[in-house]
Amino acid sequence: MNRKIEHVEICLYENVEGHGATLLDDVQLIHQAFPALSFEEVDISTEFLGKRLEAPIVISGMTGGSPELGRFNSTIATAAQKHGIAMGVGSQRVALEKPETRESFAVVRKVAKDIPIIANIGAPQLLKGYGTKELEELVSMINADALAIHFNAAQEVFQPEGEPDYSQRLLDLLGEISHSLSVPIIVKETGNGMSMETVARFRRVGINYFDLQGAGGTSWVAVEMYRGMRRNNWKWRSAELFRGWGVPTAASIVEARTMAPDSVLIGSGGIRNGLDGAKALALGADLVGMALPAIRAAVEGIEALDRFIGEFKFQLRVASFLTGSSSVKELKRAPLVVGGKLKEWIESRGLDLSTYTKVRTRRV
């Protein structure tokens, strides 16, 4: 089976979620009985990559590389264009190696002409010789507004055919390319989150966009566990042990915002509804990302995906309204209470909640 198709098939039909907690349940937004505004006044539009979005939502890239997955991309692009939200495509490595698969990615821009589109490639490919020329080809293939370079060390180490090379040279190359590429680079995790230390390293080489993909949502270690079981590959038992590994989404947002107070953060990983999204924004994210819920809805058809996105946006507006926030900017500054394991995490990492509150509310 084509690996990309197998990945999507496993995500759709196997238990790959919730092997750990996002810790968003430890975030409580404060209800305002008198919001001091009308619900109709709530405007959740925002700007991202120089374009206006109707809502601060990014459908993260998962698909492309075959006609079947191209149809998923087309469906997602149709819904994203309608709702005025951003989207990304899955890894385009295959499109460079097999030009006949390019249309499964290019269809996105043909359908979604106005929204931010994010190209995608795996970080290990930089060590295999992919430089500015190849990356610009990925960008032009879909007329992208940014390029996501995904860091999936945990997935690679358990993947039967994985390439778990994350040596220092990779960071050096990333820095070099970030200064020469025509569009911004978004450093993206794939379900294990980013720590303060990781964000600080990327910042030092000039990265200012982060898609955090925290633990608690889709576990790509679990995906590789199922692939290993199917092949009787010995790694699957070890993958089972590590399928909940990572920095939980809420903790990753706090750590990243602490290290990168002026960077653009996409809070992602286990975001399943608009209330999750509102918590992520109030906690420190600029936008919220999701992939699996969109793919599952897309399988049912454009109507199901349209309904899911519409409900997500409504829920995000409701959370804004009930916190007295008329805009995304105000929601980012909404008061909240942090407790439970998230509070323990923050304190054990040497962070101070009162200081962090000043950091998150001073965001641009």
pLDDT of residue 335: 96
Q: How many domains does the chain have?
A: 1
CATH number at residue 345: 3.20.20.70
Percent of the chain with pLDDT over 70: 99
* 310's tokens: 């519409």
Distance of alpha carbon 70 from alpha carbon 298, whole angstroms: 12
Residue 98 confidence class, pLDDT cut points 50, 70, 90: very high
Q: Average of pLDDT values for 267-291?
A: 98
Exposed, middle or buried by CB within 10 Å (0-12, 13-18, 19+), for 167? Answer: exposed
Distances (CA, A) of 265 to 42, 149, 254: 22, 14, 10
Distance of alpha carbon 282 from alpha carbon 69, whole angstroms: 34
Which residue range forms the structural domain that includes residue 256? 3-361
| pLDDT tens track for 46-92 | 999 999 999 999 999 889 999 989 999 999 999 999 999 999 999 99
| pLDDT tens track for 180-235 | 999 999 999 999 999 999 999 999 999 999 999 999 999 999 999 999 999 999 99
pLDDT of residue 4 exceeding 90: no
